[in-house]
Structure 1
Amino acid sequence: MVFRTDRLSLRRLRDDDLDALATMNADPEVMRYIMDGSVRDREQSAAGLRKMIHDWDVRGFGLFAVELRETGEVAGWVGLAVPEFLPEVLPAVEIGWRLDQRFWGHGYAAEAAAGVLRFGFEDRGLDRIISIRHVDNVRSARVMEKLGISYAFRTVVPEHQQPVAVHEITREQYLARRRG
């Protein structure tokens, strides 16, 4: 499965994406607001990649590699997942993204996530999609705002006691934005 936006190609993750993901996951600034803020080593990144690939087979959705169409570089990932780390929101499907710091500030996260919202609502028939961010992650808050994903409530991730904001968009809200 591959789809394109104006500047990006989104495709299922593959084993050969490990180098790009491991580099991104080893960056303290990229990982600053992820779970407890710890970086991940190559072995942890490989285990995460295997899970991401497996989730597609089990759920029929998952995370997409984000490639720049012009260069073919993997900028990071964006996609849909079940947020098992936050049991109080379940059942739910979350949209999330993580980009290598070199690709921040270009609008790639919003562009890719807009395509994934369309995939979730139109191709997978979801009724609601949430997005979860650390309360201090203003960059992700801006992406959510651009996408029409509205603040719902604040809570704490049980495992790490990190404060997070939960945002959401329904299929009806998404379709109204598309029509508008």
Structure 2
Amino acid sequence: MQLFLLCYNSILTIYILLTMEIISSHRIRLRTWQPGDKSAFVLMNADKRVMEYFANTLTESETEALIARITSHFERHQFGLWAAELKETGDFIGFIGLSIPTFSSHFTPCVEIGWRLAHAYWGKGLATEGARAVLEYGFNQLNLDEIVSFTTASNQRSRRVMEKIGLTHREEDDFNHPNLPLTHPLSRHVLYRLSKSQWRHRVRPVGF
């Protein structure tokens, strides 16, 4: 009986992991959100370093509202900002995924690739690795024609990731974010784009 229970629990654990996982790369698992992600996500969104290029850090209730919006996006579109964890440890490290912006601009409607990682996981190439896997999923599984990304003009870290994964920037695409006052220091945004045909010519194996 004990052997049966041990085998059953092992199979159940494997099943749960497989059903949770949506996208996989060499070091990262992108999966559905779980209740246990909340505490680490709250801390991450309260970190001024992580939120440097956002209008403000988030309170616990604001993070809960963000999780609700992410969940709602998945329900409407069957894709979204997946929770990211390290395969080796299972640690939650942030999110990487795709979303549809809710504001109007010259390039919308569109699908945006985005990421946000806890500070402890910066500088390790994890955002780039995960974003490449998401691009592959977006173009191959979702059959998207184009994926964009944008950030405030001064956010050089995110811009480097966009460039590493093959997105390109044209100055004439830059815009003022409609959710921020024109006088706000983060108002001016840069737009990066990648079409499916461009991606096919630039594609690299996921995890490299």
TM (norm. structure 2) is 0.82
Looking at structure 1, the residues matched to 161 and 48 of structure 2 have their Cα atoms a distance apart, in angstroms, of 21
Give the counterpart of 1:144 among 153, 159, 162. 162
Residues 30-49 of structure 1 mapped to structure 2, 5 A cutoff: 30-34=50-54, 36=55, 38-49=56-67
| Root mean square deviation of aligned Cα | 1.5
Native 8 Å contact 1:13 1:52 kept in 2: no
Shift of 1:69: 0.9
Alpha-carbon distance, 1:6 to partner? 0.7
1:18-46 per-residue CA deviation (whole Å, 9 max, x = no partner) reads 11111110011111112x2x000010001
TM-score normalised per structure 1? 0.94
String of CA shifts for 1:103-123, please: whole Å, max 9, x gaps: 100000000000100111100
Q: Could you tell me the percent identity over the aligned residues?
A: 35
Which consecutive unaligned segments of at least 5 residues does structure 2 have? 1-19
Residues 139 and 102 (structure 1 numbering): CA distance in 2 closer, same or farther, change over 3 Å?
Answer: same
Letter of the 1:144 counterpart: M
How many corresponding residue pairs?
A: 178
Q: Structure 2 matches for 1:1-180, cutoff 5 A?
A: 1-2=20-21, 3-34=23-54, 36=55, 38-152=56-170, 153-160=173-180, 161=182, 162-178=187-203
Look at both structures and tell me which one has the larger radius of gyration over its CA atoms: 2
- Runs of 4+ in structure 1 deviating by more than 6 angstroms, as ranges, are none
1:70-121 Cα offsets, whole Å, 9 max, x none, are 1111110010001223533211000000001111000000000001001111
Cα gap change, 1:72 to 1:87, in 2 (>3 Å): same
Moved more, 4-13 or 163-172: 4-13
Structure (1/2) with the larger strand percentage:
1
- Runs of 5+ consecutive residues of structure 1 not aligned to the other structure: none
